[in-house]
């Protein structure tokens, strides 16, 4: 039987919807809202660590109350600083978001997006308590998508297996346990490079092109760790049977 390949530009609708939501938010901020309205919008939907501090905040209580204390853990991910920030995140979201959407489906994808965005905000909060600088952008969630993708993409029959094309079934290969995945040299190199890059952002050695504010690298790491560790809770594909004689790269896809 001839295997039908997954078209490279066949982006899942939910990924396009998330990008469209980010674009609409940015266009509204630039072309619809006044400066004062945009400030109110950011105060209501961006993530401000100072919300969770007993210190006085920005001439008074931030808008939104307790509800905003909760929703800003996710809503900040749909706001971007400028067009460059939005375009860069969209470019990264297309491949990694598509891989996760094909595997998880729409509902699980959205839940995973929320969980990784919230984890990124939580780690940033833990390391920047009381900061008045807002956190915006989908980078934490995208970092989570990257981490989750390595749990299955490099396996035999997976979308990055050079011996097999990226057809629909390649996104359904079982994910190996985390410790087994870490023994894969390709995954270990990817993780090492990713953490090194973000630490360089953290110490100021690198700057994000087109960004005039510091990169919230702690949020990136929080989202990445959440994606790496929480992926099995969202994964609809059954875990492989334990086999003492096989590692991550030797598992066969489901028939």
Is the pLDDT reported for residue 245 higher than 80?
no
Give the lowest-confidence range in 66-70, 130-134, 137-141, 175-179. Answer: 175-179
Is the pLDDT reported for residue 203 higher than 60?
no
Q: Assess if CATH 1.20.1540.10 describes domain 13-239.
A: yes
Is the pLDDT reported for residue 212 higher than 70?
no
Q: Work out the pLDDT band at 10, boundaries 50, 70, 90.
A: confident
Give the lowest-confidence range in 36-45, 98-107, 179-188. Answer: 179-188
Other beta carbons within 10 Å of 57? 16
Instruction: Give the torsion sign (CA, 68, 74, 78, 81).
Output: positive
Q: Work out the pLDDT band at 65, boundaries 50, 70, 90.
A: confident
> Mean pLDDT score of the chain, rounded to an integer?
82
Q: Are 223 and 140 in contact, with CB atoms under 8 Å apart?
A: yes
φ, ψ at 197 (rounded to 5°): -60, -45
Average pLDDT over residues 155-162: 65
Give the per-residue pLDDT at 42.
Answer: 96
φ, ψ at 120 (rounded to 5°): -65, -45
Query: CA 29, CA 119: separation in Å to the nearest integer?
Result: 26
Helix axes 217-234 and 106-127, enclosed angle (nearest 10): 140
Domain boundaries of the chain, sorted by first residue = 13-239
Q: Are 174 and 240 in contact, with CB atoms under 8 Å apart?
A: yes
Query: CA angle, corner 60, sides to 56 and 63, nearest 5?
Result: 120
Helix axes 83-104 and 13-27, enclosed angle (nearest 10): 160
**Portion of the chain with pLDDT greater than 70, in percent:** 77
Is the pLDDT reported for residue 184 higher than 90?
no
Is the pLDDT reported for residue 242 higher than 70?
no
Q: What is the DSSP string of 143-208?
A: HHHHHHHTTTTTSTTSTT-TTS--BGGGGGSPPPPHHHHHTSHHHHHHHHHHHHHHHHHHTTSS--
Three-state SS at 142: helix
């Amino acid at each position: 039987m001839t295997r039908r390949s997954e078209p490279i530009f066949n982006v899942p609708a939910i990924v396009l919807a998330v990008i469209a939501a980010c674009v609409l938010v940015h266009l509204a901020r630039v072309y619809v809202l006044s400066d004062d309205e945009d400030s109110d919008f950011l105060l209501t939907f961006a993530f401000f660590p100072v919300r969770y501090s007993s210190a006085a905040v920005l001439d008074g209580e931030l808008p939104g109350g307790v509800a905003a204390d909760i929703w800003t853990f996710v809503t900040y991910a749909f706001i971007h600083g400028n067009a460059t920030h939005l375009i860069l995140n969209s470019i990264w979201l297309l491949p990694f978001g598509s891989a996760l959407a094909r595997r998880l489906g729409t509902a699980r994808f959205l839940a995973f997006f929320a969980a990784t965005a919230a984890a990124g905000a939580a780690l940033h909060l833990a390391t920047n308590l009381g900061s008045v600088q807002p956190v915006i952008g989908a980078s934490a969630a995208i970092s989570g998508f990257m981490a989750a993708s390595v749990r299955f993409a490099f396996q035999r029959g997976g979308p990055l297996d050079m011996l097999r094309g990226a057809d629909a079934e390649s996104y359904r290969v079982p994910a190996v346990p985390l410790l087994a995945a870490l023994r894969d040299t390709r995954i270990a190199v990817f993780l090492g490079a990713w953490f090194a890059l973000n630490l360089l952002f953290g110490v100021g050695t690198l700057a994000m092109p087109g960004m005039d504010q510091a990169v919230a690298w702690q949020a990136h790491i929080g989202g990445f760790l959440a994606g790496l560790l929480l992926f099995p809770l969202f994964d609809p594909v059954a875990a492989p049977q334990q086999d003492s004689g096989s590692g991550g790269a030797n598992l066969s896809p489901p028939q």
